[in-house]
């Protein structure tokens, strides 16, 4: 059984925008899940100035799209509106046999890693479906949000 009782083959990619609010360690974090399809990417820029961190999810079972992902990632991180924002890349679907290892994914993205500058960044392996690595990813993210409060203060609503 998958997340919330869904079968894995019934979970579709995000189309458009989903918003999730999660209370973690005395903080409420709003996640804006923006669809990754190329026709949706132009709307991402509308959210850059308000974001406090970026979580970029890579499908570890789709090596054919890694170059496309790398180009998309580069375009995103070089936008002036996200300068200094912590970046967490999640190599998802690590539970699937034959998935690319984190080291293999890092190798593809290493060519543009220098463009991240001095900001906090990390690549972690996860299985969103099984929950493997998710707690470590959230812990990393929360710590970076707290450290970056001066540059991007929290918004209280």
Binding-site residue set: 14, 36, 92-95
Give the other-Cβ count within 10 Å of 13's Cβ: 8
Report the distance separating Cα 135 and Cα 126, nearest Å: 9
Report the distance separating Cα 28 and Cα 100, nearest Å: 33
Known binding-site residue numbers for Mg(2+)? 14
3-state secondary structure of 79: coil
Known binding-site residue numbers for GTP? 36, 92-95
Q: Are 105 and 58 in contact (CB under 8 A)?
A: yes
Q: Residue for token digits 């392996």?
A: 125
Strand ranges in the chain using DSSP code E only, listed in sequence order: 17-24, 27-34, 54-59, 87-92, 121-125
Q: Are 57 and 92 in contact (CB under 8 A)?
A: yes
Residue 122: beta bridge partners?
88
């Amino acid at each position: 059984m998958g997340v919330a009782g869904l079968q894995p083959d019934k979970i579709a990619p995000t189309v458009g925008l989903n918003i999730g609010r999660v209370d973690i360690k005395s903080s409420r974090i709003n996640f804006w899940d923006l669809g990754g399809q190329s026709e949706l990417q132009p709307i991402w820029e509308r959210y850059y100035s308000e974001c406090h961190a970026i979580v970029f999810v890579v499908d570890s079972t789709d090596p054919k799209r890694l170059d496309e992902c790398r180009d998309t990632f580069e375009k995103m991180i070089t936008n002036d509106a996200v300068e200094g924002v912590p970046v967490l890349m999640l190599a998802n679907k690590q539970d699937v046999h034959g998935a690319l290892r984190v080291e293999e994914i890092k190798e593809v993205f290493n060519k543009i890693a220098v463009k991240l500058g001095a900001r906090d960044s990390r690549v972690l392996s996860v299985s969103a479906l099984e929950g493997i690595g998710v707690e470590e990813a959230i812990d990393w993210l929360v710590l970076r949000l707290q450290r970056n409060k001066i540059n991007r203060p929290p918004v209280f609503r």
